[in-house]
Chain A
Amino acid sequence: MTPTTFETEQTYGLRKSLSRAIPYILLTISILPIIIGYAWIFIATFSVRTEGLIPKDAHGNIGGLTLQNWSFLHNPEVWNATLNSFGIAVGMVVGVGFLSSLTGYALARMNFAGRKGFLGTTLLLHAFRPEMLLIAIFQVLLFIGGIPLIGDWVGFNTVGGVALVMITLDLPLGVWLMKGFFDNLSWDMERAALIDGASRFRVWWEIILPQIKPGLAALSIFTFITGWNAYLIPFTFTIGSKVANLPVLLNRFSGDTSLGSWNEVAALGLFQLVPILVFFIFTQEALLNIYGGGSKGGA
């Protein structure tokens, strides 16, 4: 039989604070790669070259801080890509926001034949991952590209086409989220507006939409980030620098530059990160919610 041992109060307190500290230690270790990655981006952006995390000048000495990596700002190609990125992102915010609030409203608040079927389809698509469809969407875009007039705007190898595909692929999630927001609104308010003499479209636009502004804002942030970051779809459906967006451009740069000029790549990367980080800082709570709850079905 082992003798019972009693801890002194001191060792007990020590052990307790140690066990309190353990989660912090583990969590800090877990985020180290992320912190280091970001640290490198920041350091590399403003230095001539980096060895590991250490900024070095041309002679290999520590230092060599510079702004020359930002010379890409004089490159019209970059600004064109920025414009394309911005166009896709804004197009997605407007498109997904408008369409999913329109459809989500009908699904949540209207009684019509086939409603159940639409709801089921939305749910199924919202769980479905569309990456594999890109092969077939490619053919569809080629076809649309062949139609006179329309094809010049939303066909293959156009920013419009990319935006349209991205909007559509995000719609099931958007519709489901919006439906969730609409579900929680008061029926009486809508009834009151109908009795006051508004049409259903007007009720949606003047009475209901203002109530779900926070939800709409959250969805907008989410879609803006998705659109701004988009790589795979623009990469697949565009050729050449005229229609490339920032990630596609960056990937091309990082592919054909030597190790030494990675600092310029880092600068361009930071340039891309800035709007994301701004959003991140100002809308943390909404982001956490939407990245978790969003995929859960807005429930």
Chain B
Amino acid sequence: MSFTKSPEDNNPVKIPGQTVNFIIAIVGGLLGIVAFFLPWIGFSSGGGLLGSLSGLKIGAGPVVALSKGAVIFRGTPTSYLVPIAGMVTLLVVFLAYRRKIIVEKDGFWLIALGALPLLVLLGQFGEAQRDAAKVGVDIHYLSGLIATFLALLLIILSGTLTTAALARQKPSFRNTLGAYGFMSPTSLLVIIFFLIPVVLLFILSLTNLSSANFGDPWTFIGLGNYRRMFSDKFFPKILRNTVFYVVMTLAFFNVGLALALALLTSHINRRSSFFFRLIWLLPRITPSVVYIVMWKRFTQVPPYGIINQFLGWAGIQHQPYWLNETPWLFVILVNGFVGASFGMIIFTSAIEAIPKDFIIAAKVDGASSWQIIKDITLPLLRWPLLFVTTYQTLSLLVSFEYILLLTEGGPGLFTTEVWSLTAYKRALFTYFGSNQWAYGAAWGFVLVVIGAILSFIYLRVFRFDDLVQEPKIDVL
């Protein structure tokens, strides 16, 4: 028996799905071109999927709708991308056919190219109705819809065939494919609700989109929103508020109190320390709305307020509505009581991880409890401290749920308004009359950049990549 050759040494076999690929690409290409002319034959078209995702108004064609005899024409230079994509697809198919070069990867490219105009087409129908309704036209997009779904079905079919063929041909590809099967649902969601929004947020911030001009093509105004943001009358106040809020909450609660709690609970017996830590966890797991109701009740005017009741028992006459009297105190308290538990848990486990020998040795040397904490525990908590500080800075900077519920940034103008709350309110509140999505996006995007940088740094510092081990099974 002579040595059998590895199949990988053989010439690549023909892929069964190839013909289907051709058809898909041709259909996709043609549709891309046809889509451009659709508006003239009674269909309306809007931005489509790609348009919405990229923030560019990539129409499949210039938006045209008939309105009582008058023709409304709306188009951008990017509208022409789709027919171009269609034509490129046809060209590639033609070249590939002539040269017989369609193997493996090229099949994918064909699908991608063919899919592009189809996807755009799919997205159109959602917006088409709205566009048409605006000018009072009822359009029938059902036939187009069916065509689109049919085309999508074809894409899926040919994709499956091609990948199956590839998997047969190249075993290592089979592994990758299987793993991607496990990864794809999550990846899809993360792309839609994480990655696209990040890009979209930036693009939004360059436009003037608001609920007033919603549905119109987006108009890019460059860095106008950022300029407006920095020149806002209240910008210095909001910036000051943000710094004050983050620093105070961090110092007194999320790190300070957390450390104190961890040290205190590690000096009492286990059962009671477990009890105290559990109670401290309660604010974190209490629904935020319920939690805020409790705090509001604390601060109420007499006879309802709990603080004032205690003050009354103590004989103090000054009994105001505390939330208005000292709003910052309560903003920080409310956030701090939730935030402290995170640091407390991290610090406690770090303290428990300190070898008992150190403590015993120090005790033998005659150190007092305070000296042990100062000289042994605290230096060993350096990394957890840094971790909690960076992590909590990040969350305090961008989280605003409790402030929104407690004061909504008030009382009065911008008293307790922080950066993230501004972004949220500008974009998603009907604030000063309209949702200023673009302006809010500018505020938000600055925080996203800061957040991304901070999280990147802390991944570096804490060397999370060292935790990653290599898989010990190669095959699927």
Contact = CB atoms under 8 A, between A and B. Distances in A.
A and B touch in the complex (CB under 8 A): yes
A190 B201 contact: no
A120 interface: yes
A162 to B, nearest CB: 11
A82 interface: no
A53 B126 contact: no
A231 B465 contact: no
Nearest to A297: B464
A291 B399 contact: no
A133 interface: yes
Contacts of B458: 127
Contacts of B257: 30
A143 B294 contact: no
B472 interface: yes
Given A136-B198, A136-B204, A288 B285 contact: no
A241 to B, nearest CB: 15
Contact of A115 (B179, B302, B400, B444): B179
B281 A287 contact: yes
A67 interface: no
Contacts of B404: 232
A231 B470 CA distance: 40
Contacts of A232: 288, 401, 404
Nearest to A221: B285
Nearest to A145: B126
Interface residues of A, number: 112
Contact of A135 (B192, B283, B427, B465): B427
B278 A288 contact: yes
Contacts of A114: 176
Interface string A254-268: 100001001001100
10 contacts: A53-B306, A111-B473, A128-B452, A140-B196, A146-B123, A147-B122, A151-B126, A171-B190, A183-B469, A259-B304
A146 B130 contact: yes
A97 B280 CA distance: 27
B308 to A, nearest CB: 7
Contacts of A53: 306, 309
A233 B287 CA distance: 13
Interface stretch (B101-109, B160-168, B340-348): B340-348
Interface in B289-309: 289-291, 293-298, 300, 302-306, 308-309
Interface in B234-261: 257, 260-261
A161 B278 CA distance: 33
Given A112-B176, A135-B201, A194 B475 contact: yes
Given A112-B176, A132-B398, A269-B290, A143 B49 contact: yes
Contact of B189 (A24, A112, A168, A262): A168
Contacts of B268: 23-24, 27
Contact of B175 (A110, A279, A293): A110
A50 interface: yes
Contact of A254 (B181, B289, B459): B289
B264 A23 contact: yes
Contact of B190 (A30, A125, A139, A259): A125
A38 B294 contact: yes
Nearest to B311: A52
B468 interface: yes
A94 interface: no
Given A24-B272, A119-B468, A132-B448, A148 B455 contact: no
Contact of B194 (A116, A125, A295): A125
A232 B429 CA distance: 13
B17 interface: no
Nearest first, the 4 closest Cβ-Cβ pairs linking A and B are: A52-B309, A146-B126, A292-B345, A127-B455
Contacts of A171: 186, 189-190
B23 interface: no
B304 A140 contact: no
Most B C-beta atoms less than 10 A away, residue of A19, A127, A167:
A127
A194 B400 CA distance: 49
Interface stretch (B222-230, B357-365, B387-395): B387-395
B200 A140 contact: yes
A15 to B, nearest CB: 12
Nearest to A27: B276
B471 interface: yes
B264 to A, nearest CB: 4
Given A33-B298, A125-B190, A140-B192, A108 B286 contact: no
